[in-house]
Amino acid sequence: MIQFPKNFYWGSATSATQSEGAAHKDGKGESIWDLWYRKEPYKFYNKIGPEDTTKIYENYKEDVKLLKQTGHNSFRTSISWARLIPEGNGEINQKAVDFYRNYFSSIKKEGITLFVNLFHFDMPSSLQEIGGWTNKDVVEYYANYADKAFELFGDIVDRWFTFNEPIVHVEEQYLNQNHYPMEVDPKKAVQSAFNSQLASAKAIEKFRKHNLDSKIGIVLNLTPAYPRSQNPSDLKAARIADLFQCKSFLDPSIHGGYPKELVEIISKYNLMPEYNDEELDIIKNNRIDFLGVNYYQPLRVKENPYEMKSDAIVMPEYFFTPYIMPGRRINKYRGWEIYPDAVYDIAINIRDNYNNIEWLMTENGMGVEDELRFKENGQIQDDYRIEFIKEHLEFLHKGIEAGSNCVGYHLWTFIDCWSWLNAYKNRYGLVELDLETQERTIKKSGNWFKELSKNNGF
């Protein structure tokens, strides 16, 4: 039996946009996802957009019972900035305040520890119109929003997060064209990254003024970068990949500043963001209390054998090229490699290089297509998901045994939810969602997860 430390957090995570639905209800403002879907619905899998996602907005009372039935002692969701403050800055939407207070209170009434995140890829569209994260005014508006959230819900939230995976909105909005406004502009990407980090620090600064009993952290998608080989050029590619993908947010969030080599590269290619000393001080003086780590797949890289043209757009691929390792295990539905061993490496990296800060796995999971084919006697028999979780937990446990300060494991996700790029194609939930009827049915993994949580191990 693998036994986890006392009071270990067992649960799952979701986000506002992916689970609430009611995108145009009760005064909610438009987010970039609503805007993008309105403009280009064909960009979304089966043309299903964010408006009708899992409908937790209407169903939260029932759904909270399901949290309990699947063994959650903790749960993370996010606040929709555009629901709470429809224009992104200024007037508060009272209906949103009521919804979040009722939803959050019902979670707390079940004795479930509540983790709330402030930003999960969902910029209010009016703020994207003025440049989103590339605009310093938006940093101020975000700090005001965070301040308001602490004031309104600070008494019921146990742990806060400033951002979920900030490197993702940076890259997908300004390099890879997977999030609106789908631009390819490395300078904007760097500015967005710096401003997001500054926004996180400013939210922490506001948080401290409220003197709450809770803690505040950030959720980062981390994995050590694995080089193809031990050749110096592959090793260099891995080092730079780590700087860009992990240390760009990890170092300022925990150590209060940026790695020298990262700054040198950014500066060498004329990508330095606008910043001043006061902002650097804010980042330095407002660090996280604990860390959330999302992990799905390893980051495997190799050298880029080609030279950069003098007029090239400076893309990360010039420094490190994704490496598709022969014979890798893969989740074919999502195209992501399965490599549970990385969880141990993450744990050791945090122990040795990040002050052994308190952390938890905030996301890990397996999205599978067409799960109905696994339905027997009315229940999806998702043994593959149980195996996936077990394998990752084994390595997490090994990391804890080695002294890493991990305090919990959250699965992605609770009820099958909408995905940014894949809508409802791949299902991740412990609970099945019938999209037609909205009926919820606990999968085999949901029952297993309850046992896992009850036994604090398996």
422 sits near ligand BGP (criterion: CB under 6 A): yes
Whose CA is closest to 298, among 262, 341, 332?
A: 341
In contact, 240 and 361? CB cutoff 8 Å: no
416 sits near ligand BGP (criterion: CB under 6 A): no
CA distance 218 to 202: 13
- DSSP letter for each residue of 386-428: HHHHHHHHHHHHHHHHTT--EEEEEES-SB---BTTTBTSEE-
412 sits near ligand BGP (criterion: CB under 6 A): yes
DSSP E strands, 265-310: 290-294, 299-302
Binding-site member from 70, 405, 426, 453 for ligand BGP (CB under 6 A):
426
Would you say 15 or 134 has its CB closer to ligand BGP?
Answer: 15
Tell me whether strands 9-13 and 74-78 are parallel, antiparallel or unpaired: parallel
Choices 29-37, 125-133, 415-423, 449-457; region in contact with ligand BGP by CB under 6 A: 415-423
Choices 57-65, 151-159, 162-170, 266-274; region in contact with ligand BGP by CB under 6 A: 162-170
Q: Pick the catalytic residue from 20, 171, 172, 363.
A: 363
20 sits near ligand BGP (criterion: CB under 6 A): no
How many binding residues for ligand BGP (CB under 6 A)?
16
Query: Which of the residues 283 through 302 are near ligand BGP (CB under 6 A)?
Result: 294
Binding-site member from 128, 164, 214, 349 for ligand BGP (CB under 6 A):
164
Choices 200-208, 309-317, 398-406, 412-420; region in contact with ligand BGP by CB under 6 A: 412-420
Catalytic residue list contains 165: yes
Least Cβ distance, residue 418 to ligand BGP (angstroms): 8
Query: Which of the residues 172 through 231 are near ligand BGP (CB under 6 A)?
Result: 221
Identify any residues that bridge with 227 across adjacent strands, giving them in sequence order.
301
Binding-site member from 122, 165, 171, 234 for ligand BGP (CB under 6 A):
165
Would you say 8 or 163 has its CB closer to ligand BGP?
Answer: 163
Whose CA is closest to 250, among 273, 215, 224?
A: 224
15 sits near ligand BGP (criterion: CB under 6 A): yes
Tokens standing for 200? Answer: 């996180």
CA distance 336 to 333: 8
DSSP E strands, 318-396: 321-322, 330-331, 336-337, 359-363, 368-369, 375-376, 379-380
Least Cβ distance, residue 172 to ligand BGP (angstroms): 10
Query: Which of the residues 354 through 393 are near ligand BGP (CB under 6 A)?
Result: 363, 367
Question: Residue holding tokens 């079940």?
Answer: 110
CA distance 353 to 344: 14
Catalytic residue list contains 363: yes
Active site amino acids: 165, 363
* Binding region for ligand BGP (CB under 6 A): 15, 18, 164-165, 168, 221, 294, 334, 363, 367, 412, 419-422, 426
